[in-house]
Amino acid sequence: MLQEQTRVVEAAVAHLKRNPISPLDLGWVNSVRVNRSAVERRTATLGGRRTVKKEWQAAWLLRAISCMDLTTLSGDDTVGTVQRLCAKARHPLRSDLVEALGIAPLNLTVGAVCVYHTFVSTAVEALHGTAIPVAAVSTGFPAGLSPFELRLREIEASVADGAREIDIVISRHMVLEGDWDGLYAEVKAFREACGAAHLKTILATGELGTLRNVAQASLVCMLAGADFIKTSTGKETVNATLPFSLVMVRQIRDYCDQTGYKVGFKPAGGIKTAKQSLDWLALMKEELGDEWLRPELFRYGASSLLGDIERQLEHYITGQYSASFRHPMS
């Protein structure tokens, strides 16, 4: 049953075309409007509108693991820290839980490992022989205020070291000033510097002032060729929230309707519990459909989330909650 539940979305898309760089349409950008009260009302009821229990909940939690960008972005990161994180990415659940759930044939892994540029080559080596991509945060993360040419060189260096995904931060002042031409040119240059590596644009939604700014910035980034739009760096005071996420995923939906191209979504920062992960999965399913329940189009930026999901899965198996130290990251 669990294997069937986790495979239910796999046949949804046979081929995913990459979002191209499109001309900036300021008429479209300036026409964007957001009804804040409607957004808040919709997200306030989300958790109660769709709940999953028993084996279906376990299957959704396994799906959450497969869509996770397992992340370490601390000042005290070391080679050993990153190697242990990669080992966890290869085998996100304890072997006894895998056996009890009967999911060994799934070969479950996380969606990616996300690190600073310094540790890209370490992560690539540690993940050799797997399909798990390495994502590098770039362009002066988390503030994005280093010189433009240095930000471009940082992207190129990470790609050269083997990063297959690049998480860039936009210049927030361009959004606050309504400089859509400048933001478009910046993201377009970052996309071109990525080459074949996929580009995730971090909006830092908690610093953009209004929901309309979030919506407009999302659209501009997609027009500039972003493969994913991402809520936050995880370093802001306010990170991923359901209202910010709803605004962004509806821009993704409108963009797909207008252009035919599917762009991914990544909430990051503050998603720490299994229950929260289910809320975001429900949001994706209801707003965008089953196609966005796959790592190709949906990721969580997470560091501590995996431990709580493991605890919930052990509770599903045994009926009891275990201590968190039984589910270490290393």
The catalytic residue positions are 167, 230, 266
CA dist 86 and 197 (Å) reads 20
Residues 6+ away with beta carbon under 8 Å from 26 = 180, 181
Dihedral over Cα of 21, 24, 25, 26: its sign: positive
3-state secondary structure the chain: CHHHHHCCCCCCCCCCCCCCCCCCCHHHHHHCCCCHHHHHHHHHCHHHHCCCCHHHHHHHHHHHHHCEEEECCCCCCCHHHHHHHHHHHHCCCCHHHHHHHCCHHHCCCCCEEEECHHHHHHHHHHCCCCCCCEEEEECCCCCCCCCHHHHHHHHHHHHHCCCCEEEEECCHHHHHCCCHHHHHHHHHHHHHHHCCCEEEEECCHHHCCCHHHHHHHHHHHHHCCCCEEECCCCCCCCCCCHHHHHHHHHHHHHHHHHHCCCCEEECECCCCCHHHHHHHHHHHHHHCCHHHCCCCCECEEECCHHHHHHHHHHHHHHCCCCCHHHCCCC
Q: Which of 3, 4, 6 is nearest to 60 (CA)?
A: 6
